[in-house]
């Protein structure tokens, strides 16, 4: 009985794998056929001499109308957002660190802090000036 259940489970896995592969490859083939049919259909309706005046011009005029409409809407939206939000200052910056705070952090005199601020290159000391366990 156990062997029969094991065989049935293996057959189910093999069958499911086979059907999955079959559907994967068949959908690829169906998609390729539909693309070829769609390309031929578009060529027939858009670029054949009899239909150039009728269908092609209508299709391109609809596309141009949509593009113009989308451009107009996006341009109006840009102007609305600029008028609505351009003057707002929503960024809140932290206040600058004062000279006293820097002196307390580095435990140095105000002259050393002002020298460090004025230089473009500051070398750190190898010894930790802050109190604490070493």
pLDDT tens over the chain, length 134 residues: 556 666 677 888 888 898 898 888 888 888 888 887 777 777 766 666 666 667 777 788 899 999 999 999 999 999 999 998 888 887 788 888 888 888 888 888 888 888 888 877 666 655 666 666 65
Closest to 108 (Cα-Cα) out of 120, 91, 122: 122
What are the C-alpha distances in Å from 94 to residues 54, 97, 115, 125? 65, 9, 23, 28
DSSP 8-class letter at 86: T
Domain boundaries, the chain: 1-46
The reply to whether the predicted model has a pTM over 0.75 is no
CA distances from 79 to 22, 66, 73, 84 (A): 54, 20, 10, 8
């Amino acid at each position: 009985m156990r062997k029969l259940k094991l065989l049935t489970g293996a057959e189910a896995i093999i069958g499911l794998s086979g059907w999955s592969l079959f559907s994967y490859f068949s959908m690829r083939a169906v998609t390729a056929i539909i693309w070829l049919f769609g390309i031929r259909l578009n060529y027939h309706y858009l670029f054949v001499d009899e239909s150039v005046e009728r269908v092609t011009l209508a299709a391109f005029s609809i596309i141009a109308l949509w593009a113009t409409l989308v451009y107009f809407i996006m341009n109006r939206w840009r102007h609305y957002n600029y008028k609505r939000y351009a003057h707002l200052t929503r960024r809140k910056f932290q206040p600058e660190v004062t000279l006293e705070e820097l002196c307390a952090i580095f435990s140095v005199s105000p002259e050393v802090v002002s020298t460090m601020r004025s230089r473009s290159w500051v070398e750190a000391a190898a010894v930790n000036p802050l109190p604490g366990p070493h």
